[in-house]
């Protein structure tokens, strides 16, 4: 078992690394108790996502069901809760994550043993140091509230910046995430309620809907001029900073692009 951080970093780097990432959590979902895993990858290799920039990506998914299958059957509720953007809900817009791409690739790699297991392959005490100085994204797929908050606190203890979003902000299971995650707001009323509860919000608005006075347009978005990336911005560091709520135009897979942005 690896107990030295330099050895661990070497195991994650190079043309043929020993591991493609690390497992942060392997246990029951806080949402429904079903088996899930949370996996961190893109630790030594920059993400190709133009909006987020170079961030550690984390994937929360059912351990026993491939993500594209869980999405069809509704078993994705174990990691997404009652999110209105789940495809099974057939809403006006749907989650932008294409689960048959990166999430499925991570799921398959997990079952091939490509991710280091804490307590088996490496000392869990190394986790904060693995991500030291990096930008960290909680929940590239899946809701961070499905995983115990302590897992995220340990992983982000030494990071340079972090982003995270949860649709479970009304529920007790998300209480420990206020300093790590933005409350995902689907409507203007959600912003008011979440603010009363002590959350900063990230709202997705229709293209013809105005922003609120206490909101700022995401500067990494197209309507925000793509002036920066999530990795360099820092505005989505939840309640750990004093800043306006953030708003972005709908960019889901079923979004309506018939209207111009009214901001």
Q: In the predicted model, what is the mean pLDDT of residues 54-79? A: 94
Alpha-carbon distances, residue 36 vs 25, 166, 231, 232, 234 (angstroms): 8, 17, 27, 30, 29
Whether the CB-CB separation of 243 and 236 falls below 8 Å is answered with no
pLDDT at 261: 33
Alpha-carbon distances, residue 49 vs 42, 46, 218, 257 (angstroms): 11, 9, 16, 22
Whether the CB-CB separation of 236 and 166 falls below 8 Å is answered with no
Q: In the predicted model, what is the mean pLDDT of residues 31-45? A: 92
Indicate whether this model's pTM tops 0.85: yes
Whether the CB-CB separation of 142 and 39 falls below 8 Å is answered with no
**β-strand pairing of 56-62 with 35-41:** antiparallel
Q: Say whether pLDDT at 208 is over 80.
A: no
Q: Say whether pLDDT at 142 is over 60.
A: yes
Give the number of C-alpha atoms closer than 13 A to the C-alpha of residue 208, restricted to the C-beta side. 4
Q: Which of 241, 229, 124, 221 is nearest to 180 (CA)?
A: 241
Q: In the predicted model, what is the mean pLDDT of residues 1-30? A: 94
Question: Of 143-157, 161-175, 221-235, 244-258, which gets the smallest average pLDDT?
Answer: 244-258
Alpha-helical runs (H) found in 22-169: 67-73, 77-80, 102-111, 127-130, 149-155
Residue 94 burial by CB count (10 A; 0-12/13-18/19+): exposed, middle or buried? middle
Give the whole-angstrom CA distance, residue 72 versus residue 89.
11
DSSP state of 117: P
pLDDT at 254: 46
Q: In the predicted model, what is the mean pLDDT of residues 93-107? A: 85
Give the whole-angstrom CA distance, residue 142 versus residue 33.
15
pLDDT at 96: 74
**222 SS3 class:** coil
Q: Say whether pLDDT at 255 is over 50.
A: no
């Amino acid at each position: 078992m690896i107990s030295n951080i330099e050895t661990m970093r070497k195991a994650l780097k190079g043309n043929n690394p020993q591991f493609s990432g690390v497992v942060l959590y392997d246990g029951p979902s806080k949402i429904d108790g079903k088996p899930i895993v949370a996996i961190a990858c893109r630790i030594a290799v920059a993400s190709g996502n133009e909006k987020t920039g170079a961030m550690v990506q984390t994937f929360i998914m059912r351990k026993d069901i491939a993500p594209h299958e869980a999405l069809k059957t509704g078993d994705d509720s174990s990691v997404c809760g009652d999110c209105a953007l789940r495809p099974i809900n057939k809403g006006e817009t749907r989650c932008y994550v294409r689960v048959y791409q990166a999430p499925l690739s991570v799921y398959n790699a997990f079952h091939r043993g490509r991710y280091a297991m804490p307590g088996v392959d490496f000392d869990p005490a190394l986790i904060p140091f693995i991500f030291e100085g990096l930008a960290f994204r909680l929940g590239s797929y899946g809701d961070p509230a499905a995983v115990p908050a302590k897992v995220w606190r340990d992983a982000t203890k030494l990071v340079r910046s972090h982003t995270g979003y949860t649709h479970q902000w009304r529920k007790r299971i998300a209480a420990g995430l206020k300093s790590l995650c933005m409350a995902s707001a689907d409507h203007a009323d959600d912003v008011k309620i979440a603010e009363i509860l002590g959350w900063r919000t990230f709202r997705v608005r229709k293209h013809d809907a105005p922003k609120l006075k206490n909101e700022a347009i995401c500067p990494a978005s197209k309507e925000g001029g793509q002036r920066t990336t999530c990795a360099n911005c820092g505005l989505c560091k939840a309640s750990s900073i004093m800043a306006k709520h953030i708003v972005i135009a709908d960019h889901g897979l079923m979004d309506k692009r018939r209207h111009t942005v009214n901001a």
